[in-house]
Amino acid sequence: MIDKGILALLQRDASTPIGEIAESVGLSPTPCWRRIKKMEEEGVIRRRVVLADAAALNLNLTAFVAVKTAQHGEGWLAKFAESVCRIPEVVEFHRMSGDVDYLMKVVCPDMAQFDRVYKKLIAVAEFSDVRSTFSMEELKYTTELPLDYM
């Protein structure tokens, strides 16, 4: 599938020139560009970004914060989600099934900054439990999604 090949190349490096992508998938540049635009319009390609190195930005601490709450109303969730999304150190935020209601990935320079983020989190909503765990070593990191299911 041509779109799969295009997407694989873009996931590795979104700055790859269109001519190089087209050649790799056996198209001329214009049809290749049209396919990319179509994938953008359909939401397959959400956006193109630069991936910054956390260590180079002095973001040496990665924490996963698991939250349990007795609140499950739409209003509470809307306020909580809006507040969490305004905290730049929270780089991922998921509503979960199972024992934990919400899970956040937080990056910051050190424990002192994490404590400030933690205090912001507990100030915005009432929780029944908050647990933080800290990454000792990143063993795999990718933003490339598997394409075998297209």
Q: How many domains does one find in the chain?
A: 2
Per-residue pLDDT for 60 more than 90?
A: yes
Q: What are the strands, taking DSSP E only, across 4-150?
A: 61-68, 90-95, 102-108, 129-134
pLDDT at 61 (0 to 100): 98
pLDDT at 1 (0 to 100): 87
pLDDT at 105 (0 to 100): 98
> Could you tell me if residue 148 is inside a domain?
no
Which two tokens mark 82? 């809006």
Per-residue pLDDT for 3 more than 90?
A: yes
> Could you tell me if residue 146 is inside a domain?
no
Q: What are the strands, taking DSSP E only, across the chain?
A: 61-68, 90-95, 102-108, 129-134
Per-residue pLDDT for 125 more than 90?
A: no
Q: What are the strands, taking DSSP E only, across 2-148?
A: 61-68, 90-95, 102-108, 129-134
Look at the pTM and tell me if it is higher than 0.85: yes
Q: Is residue 33 domain-shared with residue 79, that is, in the same domain?
A: no
Domain CATH code at residue 103? 3.30.70.920
Q: Is residue 106 domain-shared with residue 65, that is, in the same domain?
A: yes
Q: Is residue 29 domain-shared with residue 100, that is, in the same domain?
A: no
Write the DSSP symbol of residue 56.
G
pLDDT at 91 (0 to 100): 98
Per-residue pLDDT for 144 more than 90?
A: yes
Q: Is residue 23 domain-shared with residue 62, that is, in the same domain?
A: no
Q: Per-residue pLDDT tens for 15-31?
A: 999 999 999 999 999 99
> Could you tell me if residue 139 is inside a domain?
no
Give the number of residues written for the chain: 150
Domain CATH code at residue 26? 1.10.10.10
Which two tokens mark 99? 């024992």
How far is it, in rounded angstroms, from Cα 118 to Cα 106? Answer: 10
Question: Taking Cα atoms as reference points, which of 65, 45, 79 lies closest to residue 130?
Answer: 65
Band (pLDDT 50/70/90 cuts) for residue 13 is very high
Q: Is residue 9 domain-shared with residue 61, that is, in the same domain?
A: no
Q: Per-residue pLDDT tens for 89-116?
A: 999 999 999 999 999 999 999 999 999 9
Q: Sheet harboring 61-68: ordered strands across?
A: 90-95, 102-108, 61-68, 129-134
**Full domain range(s) for residue 79:** 55-134
